[in-house]
Amino acid sequence: MANKKRRHSRTVELKRQMEQEKLADEKSRSKNRWDPAGRALLWGDLVFLASSSLLEMNGLITGQAAGLCTIVGVVLLLVALWLLFGKRRAKGPRL
């Protein structure tokens, strides 16, 4: 009787496999998650460009000021895109 090995039931193996799949899924989600700073900058840039466009259409700012706002908005957009997609935390294939 001392030579008998203890066997796990099938439910224990299935439970362990489900836990490993759950961990792998969470790891995949965290890898694909956007950078919070980049996401906030992207939304802020969208609001900034929309408000400057509305101000120009209503005649509250000049065309030169609207052009300056557009240039600033494009620069902020490029910075946001760099934060979201430019730097890589983990090594892997780049899309």
The residue ranking higher by pLDDT, 49 or 28, is 49
**H or E stretch including 64?**
helix 63-81
Q: How far apart are CA 89 and CA 31, in angstroms?
A: 8
Question: What confidence tens digit (pLDDT) does each residue in 1-48 have?
Answer: 555 666 667 888 888 888 888 777 776 666 667 888 889 999 999 999
Give the residue extent of every domain in the chain.
Answer: 10-86
Q: What average pLDDT does range 62-75 have in this prediction? A: 96
pLDDT > 60? residue 56: yes
pTM for the full predicted model: 0.59
Mean pLDDT of 63-83: 95
Amino acid, res. 13: E
Query: Which one, of 19, 53, 41, 43, lies nearest residue 86 by Cα?
Result: 41
Amino acid at 41: L
